[in-house]
Amino acid sequence: MLRKLRIVVKVGSNVLTRNDGKPNVTNMSSLVDQIACLRNSGHEVILVSSGAVACGRGALTTTRTLDAVAQRQLFSSIGQIRLINLYNSLFAEYGYVVGQVLTQKENFSSRTSYLNQRSCMQTMLENGVIPIVNENDTASLTELMFTDNDELSGLIAAMMDADLLVILSNVDGIYDGNPNDPSSRLIEKVMPGEDVSASVVASKSGFGRGGMGTKCGIARKLSEEGVKVIIARGNRPGVLVDLIETPETTPHTEFVPRTESLSNIKRWIAHSGSFAKGVIKVDENAATALRSDRAVSLLPVGVVGIDGEWEEGDIVTLTTASGCVIGVGRASLGSSDVAAMIGRRGERPVIHYDYLFIE
Ligand code: GLU
């Protein structure tokens, strides 16, 4: 009997739309068939689906040339309804109810909005609803967008304490060379801490924003946090079900997770680096202690300098004196208090271990 899993499935525009910008109904139906099958086996599934912009593009000819932001907003507003309508009717065939979650990067910036979003999706799952998540492209600010839906899927998988994130791509996984070169070999397993970025050929195709480089970065990060990540080919027939039931005969790359998984708050902090309000620079002794396997908090004695202004509870970046990033944390003291305590012994922690993520 297989364990019941909470699975986040990320599928990109290239799998969901045709070259003419129409939804790829064949691929979408096959995806829905497989998710329904996983649900019938008792697994929970959250779908992170791109394709709004690509679908909208195929539905409308604009009267004048629009800039990139206006295009994204307009096309996503049209395409998102089409996508969700199609999902809704395809899942209804199996008797499953879907719910739409449109989100933005800001929703991950404060712990309150993060927990609010989490509890919404938790309630959906508890009630048997399949959440279908996408970025709210009509409202997102260009400078504060997810890099792509790969990043979004990583945030969702970490937030929802998923057992597995499956990123469906247009190749079988990560190769040790160019995937089009017949001598390249599929890398089947990436161990925690292993760096395969040198093997990733910077290739980006079609409509989506993501590439294998970001997929790989997200996968490494999640596996460090204790979430298993699989990259596989989205249009391989039956791929999702096969990955769960017969993984040994299904081509894919697996990022093996660390056995000790991070607490949810540490996971949130791990993904919050882009919201940092300031920087705390630490000396070599502190950097070594923080990087060790021990549960170490950052004390004022290890701080050599700060940049920026923040309040208690804000996210800050930790660097060495020379500026090399070592982690992210939630400050227990505001920047003025920290400034007054730099280098002092016997003070309370600047960042407590429970609110610290070391990269
Ligand atoms: N949110 C975008 C869309 O639905 C896709 C972003 C991406 O390509 O990763 O079109």
Nearest atom (ligand 1) to Cα of 13: 8
- The residue ranges of the chain whose pLDDT is under 50 are 202-208
What does pTM read for this prediction? 0.88
Q: 37 and 196 in contact (C-beta within 8 Å)? A: no
**Residue whose structure tokens are 């937030």:** 159
Q: What is the pLDDT of residue 203?
A: 45
Pick from 134, 147, 150 the residue to mutate for probing ligand 1's pocket: most ligand atoms within 8 Å of its CB.
134
Nearest to 279 by CA among 242, 304, 299: 304
* Cα 350 to Cα 341: distance, rounded to the nearest angstrom: 9
What share of residues in the chain are helix, strand, coil (percent, to 5)? 40, 20, 40
Q: Which residues are CB-neighbours of 135 under 8 A, at least 6 positions away? A: 102, 103, 104, 145, 146, 149, 152
Pick from 10, 148, 212, 215 the residue to mutate for probing ligand 1's pocket: most ligand atoms within 8 Å of its CB.
148
Q: What is the pLDDT of residue 259?
A: 82
Q: Which residues are CB-neighbours of 95 under 8 A, at least 6 positions away? A: none
Domains, the chain, in order of start with CATH, read 6-262 (3.40.1160.10), 276-358 (2.30.130.10)
Q: What is the pLDDT of residue 2?
A: 66
Torsion, Cα of 32, 38, 44, 45 (10° steps):
-30
Pick from 10, 11, 13 the residue to mutate for probing ligand 1's pocket: most ligand atoms within 8 Å of its CB.
13
CA–centroid distance, 149 to ligand 1, in Å, is: 6
Q: 24 and 207 in contact (C-beta within 8 Å)? A: no
CA–centroid distance, 345 to ligand 1, in Å, is: 49
Partnered with residue 49 across adjacent β-strands are 11
User: What digits encode the pLDDT tens for the residues 103-152?
Assistant: 999 899 888 999 999 999 999 999 999 999 999 999 888 777 888 899 99
User: What digits encode the pLDDT tens for the residues 249-293?
Assistant: 999 999 999 888 788 899 899 988 888 999 999 999 999 999 988
In the structure, which protein residues have their CB atom closer than 6 angstroms to any atom of ligand 1?
A: 13, 50-54, 76, 134-135, 137, 148-149, 208-210
Question: In Å, what is the CA distance from 19 to each residue of 12, 24, 29, 51, 57?
Answer: 13, 9, 17, 12, 11
Provide the 3-class DSSP secondary structure of residue 228.
strand
Q: Report strand pairing: 130-135 vs 44-49.
A: parallel
